[in-house]
Structure 1
Amino acid sequence: MGFGEEPPGSVGGLGPGELVAGQYEVSTCFARGAFGYVYLARDRNLDGKQVVLKGLTRPHDTAAIKLAEHESRVLTALEHPNIVRIFNVVSHDRQRYLVMDHVDGPSLRTVREAGGLPIADALACAVQILGALDYLHRQGLLYCDMKPDNVIRTGDTVKLIDFGAIRRAGDRESMVLGTPPYLVGHTEIREHGLTERADIHGVGVMLDELVECGADDPGGESFRRLVARATTDYDRRFADVPEMLRQVRGVLREVRCLADGRPRPVRSEVFAESAVLLDESLSLAPPLTAWTLGGSAALPDGRPSPAAVATGLPVPVPDPADPRTPLLRTVRAPDPARLLTKLAALPGSVEVDFHQARAHLEAGDGHAAAHRLASAERHLGWRAHHDWRAAWHRGLLALAEHRVSEAVDLFDDVYRSKAGELAPKLALGFCAEHLERPATAARFYQAVWVCDRLYVSAAFGLARIRLRAGERAAAVAILDEVPDISLHRHAAAVAAVRILAGHLPGGGYPSAEDIAAAAERLQVLTLDSEETWQRLAAAVQESAFTHVLDHGDGAVPPGPLLGDPVSERGLRDRLEESYRVLARQARTADEHDVLIDRANAVRVRSLW
């Protein structure tokens, strides 16, 4: 049992008031573990400070004595905020006792039995526990008895106690101690011994017990995938504590951001940032074909093609252990063809194959990309079945070839491995959107966007889903969250103007207030060219003209772009001029003639 638990039936060998080593006055026996009684005592030399004495349950058991000696040597040398401090070893009546700090608080076993913890609190505990385990592992030690009984929670801090099962990494001879189901199975112990992954398994089982949640709970899906990775078979489990700790922090960030709506951007250590905006057309002014082949008022779908997403998603950071990674960091080219030429000059490796595969995808050659992925998997050997990078690139290839359902399975595999990362969720959000699963897509996009406002592709995905649901104001509100420092701030501003002034996919028309807001936004928007501004202006004026024809002069609030007051005659004059300006952008005579015909059709008729 851990410190702070209710006393067991046995009271051990020391009674209340008994003085140990002339210094420690016993108060009570409050726990009994597998290898020792635990007593609460007062240190007379330190003004009655409360301490914990840990003695042997079996004083004549040679193995237990050896274990206690080992524990005392190890613990007296350790110093970590999440590890109970042992500061003395004393003898009393031919028995040795460890003298430890008294940690006041319930064990996680007690917490679990009282109802468990919310996901965020459990993950916050896991961060501290994993920090302590990482410290031990860097000392060449394995904890080996991770379970709720051995973790005390006091306030916002947790501490590991009871180091009776600690052992040196690589020790295949000492007696194996631990508690099922937290201890890994006999097959793993036989094949691999106790390793860092065994400690990780214990943390995963403990997290699973501490939290009761479903996939619909904020962050619940990521939490469940995190636990599954920690408790899966040896080869697919987190390889070390730092790897798991990164994902725990990522899931904790997601849970907290979903709870309070406050972004917490953190640079990923495994995915590079992507400057590509995954949007087909909302972020752009209407092309001239919107007028020469139809009307400009209807908003486009906006969804990028699967092939565009395949080359626009974030890519894995090159493995620093790959021998070609230093060279790859120096390779630059303005187009995929020249990049492939440079890559062909490098000696082969997994990372070279991945780089070549992505370049072939960008060049539109899926067959060549598949060939390079097969080469990467040959380099990886048996590890290819467990390497998330291989699954990620297979997912990109599936997208490029419009096999979206297959891509879902591959990106889902990456999500299981990297539950705290945003890139897999962005990929799964797009796949769900393409497969007409808007609720699923929105959940993934929201998990990305709420964490990091620089993933603007997620904002556009959310905006598209809101538009398809007829929620014009909600779509604009999301785009307005794009920060000024983003590369895509102007793209979001253009999309907001188009959404406010456009006809929704379901046929919804903008209100007078929407049109006026679009005109006001456009009036102060600085764009890359006058041509872009003029096309947006013409689209807004068309929406205003349609509204005035239906509702009469003055139905739309006035402004510099629409006039004061906004009238049918004034809008006809403005639209005529806009169409003639657009005609000067025409690339063919036919386009020019169509736009001039539009100008003539809308002009005010005169009796003269």
Structure 2
Amino acid sequence: MGFAEEAPSGGRLEPGELVAGQYEVDRCFARGAFGFVYLARDRNLQGKQVVLKGLTRPHDTAAIKLAAHESRVLTALEHPSIVRIFNVVTHRGLSYLVMDHVDGPTLRSVRDAGGLTIADALACAVDVLGALGYLHRQGLLYCDMKPDNVIRAGESVKLVDFGAIRRTGDRESPVLGTPPYLVGHTEIREHGLTERADIHAVGVMLDELVECDAGEPGAESFRRLVARATADFDRRFADVPEMLNQVHGVLREVRCLADGRPRPARSAVFAESAALLDDGLSLAPPLAAWTGDGGGALADGRPSPADVAAGLPVPFPDPADPRTPLLHSVRAPDPRRLLTKLASVPASVEVDFHRARANLEAGDLAAAGHCLRSAERQLGWRAHHDWRASWHRGLLALAEGRVGAAAELFDDVYRSVPGEPAPKLALGFCAEHLSRPDTAARLYEAVWACDRSHAGAAFGLARIRLRAGERGAAVAILDEVPEISLHRHGAAVAAVRILAGHLPGGGRPSAGDLAAAADRVHTLTLDSEESWLRLATAVLESAFSFVLDHGDGSLPPGPVLGDPVSEKGLRDRLERSYRELSRQARTAGEHGVLIDRANAVRARSLW
């Protein structure tokens, strides 16, 4: 195994020299690992500018072999991010590749002039990875990815130097490349040059191109992306499609956080979840708010760790698992029936993951742990690098109430798939539960900015704003839940409750808050008249309290509060509401409490 040395200066072409009777040399403008690169003009095409890449070590048999390999293979390549090689000629006994001339700076020049933003660097990576994926599908490895070999041409980039290209699986040819982009000697000795070597080089290049502050939007996800691309062989992205998927995800996050415009995209590794991470804020107040201990300050609706464990998105089964095709057809209406069906399915890692989730949903945490241990035994040493194992361990830790341990496991998933919203959603809840609101808000915002279908992130942000006393900010976030969302109705209910509620820190609604709550509840259609009545009653109670403090006429009139809004009018409306609520009572005791409330609020007469 040898590494390329710098080419000597012999065999130089001179300006004006005619190569193959067709290409007139203008000047030498670059130097590659195996030869000089010249700018020339094609006399047969009215002086069209071309590039000649020649071999300058005529006695190096390995170099001659590689040049011949380039000639045969590269002239057949056609990809928008690869420079077009359209001819191979011989001049003075040496071979020259004739390539399109790509006008533009190299990424090295761009970096030296001030570097790239995260978004620009990732956009370049999309093109570069597209070209590498194309080469890999042809059975080729690029092997010399670095900023010097990428030209920025307008809005796109092109790979322009193929001096180190080799066949996948070739462990005989000299190893060409440039440290630190080239992987280390140990990896080459144990694995040879592989697709992961090209991925490593892209990661090093990205790290070199960008200088970003830790607090810059998307910087954390970007750094995790780079870290995985440059990690040890077993931890690194296995192929270009895997890395490209995460690059797209991180790029979406960066762009959405920058301009506030969502860019939803279906995940390639996580299924969508219909569950809403909320504990009742999205519903009308229960009857216990009047008959039990449900009074007082508005609860923020934070779900329990166990509920979050059951509601987080589920990873798609690994396509390489032998039972994945069968698992796609296994359905059941509840976890117990699902476990019964899975009992007849032959064991595999994904079958055990399915069983673990079903046991978590059924509340059998011991059985869930047993299934996860079985999956990890089958994974063997790979369990340390399989993010799906960490994800399921995190779910179990949540269900057991070990939120700190769950956060560590979800953080490991975030390192593996930094472009995915699911681990950020999970980490956001963990941070929220561990009283780290700033961290939680940053993670929730990264999810919500990209995709408005993740209503759990919106409710998480609203909860954080609510605990900070920012009533208007909480409502504004909930109002962003789109009309087409499954959770739009729940967001509308939560907004009414926040507008009319007494906040945990003691904040009381203003006249504007109450007027907005009354207007909203008037136009809101709930799943039943009973639910609407409970929500409207909560608004009436807050309005009544406000009028007692501020006097008649302090609130604007409307269908819910009356016209004009007065103490007597609100007493009459509340009395009717309590009596109507008493019809929802399930016991004589509940009925009595509500009738007592009605009698207590009833306006007193002099007669």
Amino acid of the structure 1 residue aligned with 2:51: V
**Counterpart of 2:312 in structure 1: which amino acid?**
L
Q: 1:362 aligns to what? A: 361
5 Å matches for 1:10-49? 13-49=12-48
Is residue 515–residue 543 contact of structure 1 (8 Å, CA) maintained in 2? yes
Distance in 1 (alpha carbons) for counterparts of 2:262 and 2:9: 52
Q: Does the Cα contact within 8 Å between 2:9 and 2:56 map onto a contact in 1?
A: no
Q: Secondary structure at the match of 1:15?
A: coil
Partner AA of 2:387 in structure 1: W
User: How far did residue 296 of structure 1 move?
Assistant: 4.2
Change (3 A) 1:403 1:291: same
Letter in 2 for 1:596: I
> Which residue pairs with 1:322 in the alignment?
321
**2:226 matched residue in structure 1:** 227
Residue 294 (structure 1) shift: 4.5
Residue in 1 that maps onto 2:390: 391
**Which residue is 1:576 aligned to?**
575
**2:407 equivalent to 1:408:** yes
- Tell me if 1:267 matches 2:299: no
1:177 paired residue number: 176
Aligned-partner SS, 1:367:
helix
Query: What is the match of residue 210 of structure 2?
Result: 211
Which residue identity does 1:580 align to in structure 2? R
CA distance in 1, matches of 2:215, 2:325: 43
| Cα pair 2:14 2:27 within 8 Å, conserved | yes
What are the within-5 Å matches in structure 2 for residues 126-145 of structure 1?
A: 126-145=125-144
CA distance in 2, matches of 1:431, 1:67: 54
CA distance in 1, matches of 2:171, 2:11: 33
User: Counterpart in 2 of 1:3?
Assistant: none
Query: Retained in 2: the 8 A contact 1:297–1:542?
Result: no
- Cα drift, residue 298 of structure 1: 2.2
Q: Deviations over 1:386-415 (max 9, x none)?
A: 110000000000000010000011000000
Aligned to 2:341: 342
Contact 1:501 1:539 in 2 (8 A): yes
Q: Residue type of the partner of 2:28?
A: C
Alignment match, 1:460: 459
C-alpha root-mean-square deviation of aligned residues, in Å? Answer: 1.3
Which segment is superposed worse, 564-573 or 30-39? 30-39
Residue type of the partner of 1:38?
Answer: V
Report the CA distance between 1:320 and its aligned residue: 2.1
Q: Deviations over 1:233-266 (max 9, x none)?
A: 0000000000000000000010011111111111
The answer to whether structure 1 residue 526 and structure 2 residue 516 are counterparts is no
Residue type of the partner of 2:351? V
Q: Which residue of 2 aligns with 1:5?
A: none
Q: Give the AA of the match of 1:261.
A: G
Counterpart Cα distance in 2 of 1:349 and 1:153: 47
Q: Distance in 1 between matches of 2:293 and 2:433?
A: 25
String of CA shifts for 1:339-368, please: whole Å, max 9, x gaps: 111111111111110111001111111111
Query: Once the 2 structures are TM-superposed, how far is the Cα of residue 49 of structure 1 from its aligned partner?
Result: 0.4
**Residue 431 (structure 2) aligns with:** 432
Q: Does the 8 Å contact 1:286/1:296 carry over to 2?
A: no
Map of 2:588 onto structure 1: 589
Structure 2 SS opposite 1:41: strand
In the other structure, the counterpart of 2:285 is 286
Q: What are the equivalent positions in structure 2 for 1:422-501 lying under 5 Å apart?
A: 422-501=421-500
Q: Aligned partners of 1:436, 1:47: CA distance in 2, in Å?
A: 71
Report the CA distance between 1:12 and its aligned residue. 6.0
Note if contact 1:297-1:502 (Cα within 8 Å) is conserved in structure 2.
no
Structure 2 spans left out of the alignment, 5+ residues: 1-6
Cα distance in 1 for residues equivalent to 2:437 and 2:210: 28
CA contact (8 A) 2:10 2:56 kept: no
Query: Is this contact kept in 2: 1:501–1:510, CA < 8 A?
Result: yes
Q: AA paired with 1:579?
A: Y
Look up the match of 2:246. Answer: 247
Instruction: Report deviation, 1:297.
Output: 5.7
Displacement of 1:154 after TM fit? 1.1
- Match status 1:98 vs 2:97: yes
* Distance in 2 separating the partners of 1:12 and 1:119: 42
How far, CA to CA, are the matches of 1:370 and 1:9 in structure 2?
Answer: 64
Q: Which amino acid aligns with 1:198?
A: A
Structure 2 length-normalised TM: 0.98
Q: Structure 1: which amino acid aligns with 2:170?
A: D
Question: For 1:41-79, what per-residue CA distance to the aligned partner results, in whole angstroms no more than 9, with x for missing partners?
Answer: 111110110000111222332222222111111110111
In 2 relative to 1, CA 568–9 (structure 1 residues): closer, same or farther, beyond 3 Å? farther
Q: Distance in 1 between matches of 2:448 and 2:578?
A: 38
2:62, 2:173 within 8 Å by CA — same for their partners in 1? no
**1:507-546 mapped onto 2 (5 Å cutoff):** 507-546=506-545
C-alpha change, 1:31 and 1:322, in structure 2 (3 Å) is same
Does the 8 Å contact 1:297/1:543 carry over to 2? no
Identify the range of structure 1 (595-604 vs 339-348) with the bigger mean alpha-carbon deviation.
Answer: 339-348
Provide the residue aligned with 1:375 in structure 2: 374
What is the TM-score of this pair, normalised by structure 1? Answer: 0.97
Q: Residues 510-569 of structure 1, C-alpha deviation per residue, up to 9 Å, x if partnerless?
A: 001110110100101111001100000110000000000000001011100100110000
Separation in 2, partners of 1:54, 1:276: 59
Task: For residue 592 of structure 1, report the CA deviation from its aligned partner.
Answer: 0.9
C-alpha contact 1:215 1:224 (8 A) present in aligned 2: no
Structure 1 residues 539 and 161: alpha-carbon distance in aligned structure 2, compared to 1, 3 A threshold: same
8 Å contact from structure 1 (residues 296, 539) kept in 2: no
Q: Could you tell me how far apart the structure 2 residues matched to 1:576 and 1:294 are?
A: 20
Shift of 1:9: 12
- Cα pair 2:461 2:474 within 8 Å, conserved: yes
SS in 2 for 1:117: coil
Aligned AA (1:58): R
Q: Give the match for residue 305 of structure 1.
A: 304
Higher mean alpha-carbon deviation, 17-26 vs 187-196, is at: 17-26
Find the aligned partners of 1:381 and 1:328 in 2 and give their Cα distance: 22
Equivalence for 1:4: none
CA distance in 2, matches of 1:310, 1:407: 10
**Partner secondary structure for residue 450 of structure 2:** coil
Aligned to 1:69: 68
Given that residues 307 and 400 in structure 1 are in contact (C-alpha distance below 8 angstroms), is that contact kept between their aligned partners in structure 2? Answer: yes
Return the letter of the residue paired with 1:487: L
Question: 1:11 deviation in Å?
Answer: 9.4
Structure 2 residue aligned with 1:51: 50
**Which secondary structure state, in structure 1, belongs to the residue aligned with residue 62 of structure 2?**
helix
Q: How far apart in 2 are the matches of 1:295 and 1:373?
A: 39
Query: In 2, Cα distance between the equivalents of 1:321 and 1:61?
Result: 44
Preserved CA contact (<8 Å) 2:28 2:39: yes
Quote the Cα distance in structure 1 between the aligned partners of 2:91 and 2:191.
Answer: 40
Shift of the alpha carbon at 1:90?
Answer: 1.1
**Match of 1:505, as an amino acid?**
P
Shift in alpha-carbon separation, 1:12–1:502, aligned structure 2, 3 A: farther
Residue 89 of structure 1 is matched in structure 2 by 88
Identity within the alignment, %: 82
